[in-house]
Chain A
Amino acid sequence: MTFPISGAHLSPVYLVVVGFVVGLLGGFFGVGGSFLAGPALFAAGVPMNFVVGTDLAHIVGKSIVAARKHRTLGNIDVKLGAIMVLGTIAGVEAGAQGIQFLKRTAHVDWVVGPVFIVVLLGIAGFMTWESISTLREHKREGRGRGSVSEGHPSGRDRSAMAFIAKAVHRISLPPHVSLPVSGIASISVWAIVGVAFVGGFFSGFLGGGAGSIRMPCFIYLLGIPTHIAVGTDLFEIVISASYGTVTHALKGNVDILIALVMHTGAAIGAQIGATLTQYFGGLRIRMAFIPLPLIGAGMMLYSLLTGHPAK
């Protein structure tokens, strides 16, 4: 069928299936999923300018569903999310300005692409190393320990790289806040705003929600338990993607009809993905997350080598 705003001819069933898969990943990992939805829309014949804006609009709806589900599971630290808002928006603007600057110097593809690939490969490599180290620690401490405890799953979430977050918690720059939901007694507000800025910067610089960068930052830099990192990241994505939707809609880059149809599949996928997190420990979620930055890096490499946009 024809969507009158973008003029694209698309099967609604295709959009629903793509939405469902992206929603499932988003609900489980706390990412926007633009690395998958963007190429899927482009491959189906949606014009490139509509791909970015429409994807952001669909991410808003999907993240609302997943975030509400995570809220009922106790996986959202609202205080942390609220503090991050300013850093995220400032980061998105800085990233967008960075792109504009690079466009003027005509080197945009050859700066953004390699930066993106190096960052994502670094994240995947670090998470693999961390998962193996944590697993070895689990084995040393006894296989069953921690896995039978009751209560919120974040209570048994351990990481071999917890010393990084402890160093960040020792930053003495005032003001400091406590994050009881995340189990953090005291942390500098600037550390939180800094992480939000980095996530927002990559979101503005590369498009999408940048969850594949912000989620590991939550866990390893701020020391947020994995389940709460997933839920709070979704909360953050709702805000940054809403901002992006309005700016893209004003420029005429959003086909809201495509986003609405896609979201019907994403809503159910997000609900299922969010619920599934309660059946997995933090370590398992982190291990399953590792292929996502690798897929993103592969997409970008394909784009650079072939000259076809990956998203």
Chain B
Amino acid sequence: MAALWSAAIPMKPELKASIKRYALELVVYSLLVAGYYLLVLHLLGGLLADIYFHERKVYAALALGLIVAQGFVLEILTRFILSWMEPRRESE
């Protein structure tokens, strides 16, 4: 399988640079996520558990709404971090 893999279409050279950039992005991102935990788990945790046990329909709507909203917000955040790091990297 390894021989087949290496014989397939060759990998682009930009891949190595991208992997380095993503490693840096991971560091910045993990700092932001650590702060986010404090917000979600400590502020929303009790409230969401209460809704789960007493208002199941509201909870279902909230669950989908929260994960969809977080999907969009984190996509924007990760894209922003990437675009923020790109010019810095080029100016070095």
Which A residues contact B (CB, under 8 angstroms)? 1, 3-5, 12, 16, 57-58, 60-65, 68-69, 131-132, 135, 138-139, 146-147, 156, 242, 245-246, 249-250, 252, 254, 256-257, 259-261, 263-265, 267-268, 271-272, 275-276, 279-281, 283-284, 287-288, 290
Please judge, given known A-B contacts A245-B64, A264-B74, whether A147 and B10 are in contact too, CB under 8 Å.
Answer: yes
Check A61 against B9 for contact (C-beta < 8 Å).
Answer: no
Report how many A-B pairs have Cβ atoms within 8 Å: 141
Interface of B is mostly: helix
Report A-chain residues with C-beta under 8 Å of the C-beta of B11: 279-280
Check B66 against A287 for contact (C-beta < 8 Å).
Answer: no
Check B12 against A4 for contact (C-beta < 8 Å).
Answer: no
Give the CA-CA distance A280 to B6 in the complex, in Å: 12
Report A-chain residues with C-beta under 8 Å of the C-beta of B74: 61, 65, 263-264, 267-268
Give the CA-CA distance A263 to B63 in the complex, in Å: 13
Which residues B13-34 have CB closer than 8 A to chain A? 14-15, 18, 22, 25-26, 29, 33
Interface of A is mostly: helix
Check A246 against B70 for contact (C-beta < 8 Å).
Answer: no
Please judge, given known A-B contacts A249-B63, A250-B56, whether A263 and B71 are in contact too, CB under 8 Å.
Answer: yes
Give the CA-CA distance A280 to B14 in the complex, in Å: 11
Residue in B closest to A267 when the chains form the complex, CB atoms = B74
Report B-chain residues with C-beta under 8 Å of the C-beta of A5: 48-49, 52
